[in-house]
Every structure is written in structure tokens, then in C-alpha cells.
Amino acid sequence: MARKLRKLTKAVDSVPYWYHSIDLGDGIVTDGARSADDLAATWDALDLPDLRARSVIDVGAWDGYFSFRAEDAGASRVVALDHYAWSLDLARKLDYDEQCRRDGVTPVQYHTHPGIWRPDDLPGKAGFDTAHRARESGVESVVGDFMRMDLERLGTFDVVLLLGVLDRMRHPVLALERLARLARDLLVVETEAVAVPGFEHHGFAEFMESDELDGDPTTWWVPNRHAAMALCRTAGFSQVEAAADPAQRPTRGDALHRYRLVVKASK
């Protein structure tokens, strides 16, 4: 047992960056940028139906926390799909981000940086693979650019998860239309959202030209609740629900407030 723990600890420590805090058993939890409590709170906020005997796809899985949670919840089949995060050399990305902050320059899109973008050997998948082995998981991993891949090869799923990804979609309407093709029943979206008091019944999205949101150059659109729901209906979902905007606590000198929004859409 001691040898197994040492081997697992070494494997975990060899991953240069963990985004998710994942329980690997035997008292080992990965030291993710998102804490275990934060991730558990997000999982609870999704308010998913009973997943037993249901198929689930996690689009933009990264380290796989939500994929593994769906597996633990009894899903009959779970697919973890990613491409962008898995193609990044995360150690170099972190160094590059820090250098940009020190120099006061705007980072470029990571897939345009040859020292960071490595889709041939997928260094960013190390966390998922390590957790997958440690948990002896049956989650299937699929490497693919969701916006370009052949959806027919993926098939359809009872539940589609799009968590922390919609705001990173350059073409959100097209993305949701493609997601509608995957979902037999339910799409659950968790995303950065914006609220402005007095404009709750207007659909709009804040456009991010570069790294305006937390210094991340990969974010494009931050919708308000009205727009996020309307996007899902436009994509072909007939029933769409989302929690009301939270109490307004402006983050800047104006009334704009950003928060995390969960939208549930069904056929």
C-alpha cells in the first residue's frame, strides 16, 4: 500500500498544473486551482436528474472532475470530450501568463503560440489521464475540437454538460445548435454571466475582445440570463430554465455584475 501511495503521489506531483481538485482515493486529493468545495458547490448547483442508466457527455472536461462525478452518480456511459485544454503545455502557459503580467502586455490566443500549443502530444491531458488511472475509471475520453468534429461519430446522449465553456465559444449560436444535436433530453450549461439592473428583460452579451475577463484571452462572450436562455431556445430546446439573477453587487463603478449562471434546457 505504501508503495502504491508513493507512486500515486509522484504521478500527481508530476502534473504541472491541476485545474480540478479530484479525490483519487487513499486520502489523496489533487491540488487544483478550483477547490474541492467550490467544485462540489457547482455540482450541487447543476441540480442534475438521477443519472443512473443515463448516458452523459462532458464537453470541455479538462481534468475530468464532472465526468468522474457523473460516473460516481451511476451514469451508464460517460464521455469526457476536450481538445483545447488538453493541447496546452500548461507549465509554459503559466510562465507565459506571468511574463505578460510582469511586462504589462496582452497575451495572445494560446493556440497561436507555438511554445504552448501542442495538439500532437496533448500535454494538458496529463491530469485527466492520471486521475483516470488512479480511480480505475470507465469514463471514455475523446479528443476532438467540438466545433469541427463529426458529431455523427459521437452519437447522442441523455445529458450533455457544458460547464465553463459557453463563454469561450467564438460562435455561441452555432455551438448550441451542435449541442442540440448531441442531446436526446437535457443540456446543462454553466457559464460566466452578466447582469445589469433594469435590463433583465433584454437579451445581450458582453463581448471580450482579449483578456478583459480575469486575464484570460480565450473568453469571447458573457451573456446575461435572458440571452443565455434565448440562445438555448434558438438552438432548438423547447423548455429552458435558469435561476434568477443574484442580488446585485457591482464589481465596477457601474451597475454591471458578473456571476456564474446555470441554464437547463430540454427538448
Kindly report the average pLDDT of the chain as a whole number: 94
DSSP character string of 184-236: EEEEEEEEEEEE-TT-TTS--EEE-SSSTTTT-TT--EEE-HHHHHHHHHHTT
Residue 251: is its pLDDT beyond 60?
A: no
| Contacts (Cβ under 8 Å, ≥6 apart) of 23 | 29, 36
- Kindly state the average pLDDT of the residues 131-139: 97
pLDDT category of residue 200 using cuts at 50, 70 and 90:
confident
Q: Is 139 exposed, middle or buried (0-12, 13-18, 19+ CB in 10 A)?
A: buried
With residue 87 as reference, give the H or E element that holds it.
none
Using DSSP's 3-state secondary structure scheme, residue 172 falls into helix
d(CA 157, CA 187): 10
d(CA 255, CA 250): 5
**Model pLDDT for residues 214-225, shown as the tens digit of each residue:** 889 999 999 999
Residue 255: is its pLDDT beyond 80?
A: no
| Domain architecture of the chain: domains with CATH | 2-266 (3.40.50.150)
Residue 68: is its pLDDT beyond 90?
A: yes
Cell numbers that stand for 58 in this block:
462532458
Residue that the C-alpha cell 427538448 belongs to: 267
Cell numbers that stand for 231 in this block:
440562445
**What one-character DSSP code corresponds to residue 61?**
-
What separation in angstroms does the CA of 2 have from each of 11, 25, 57? 14, 13, 35
**Model pLDDT for residues 151-190, shown as the tens digit of each residue:** 999 999 999 999 999 999 999 999 999 999 999 999 999 9
Say what the pTM is.
Answer: 0.94
**Model pLDDT for residues 121-133, shown as the tens digit of each residue:** 999 999 999 999 9
DSSP character string of 251-263: SSSSS-EEEEEEE
pLDDT of residue 128: 98
| Contacts (Cβ under 8 Å, ≥6 apart) of 183 | 156, 157, 159, 160, 237, 265, 267
User: Amino acid identity of 160?
Assistant: V
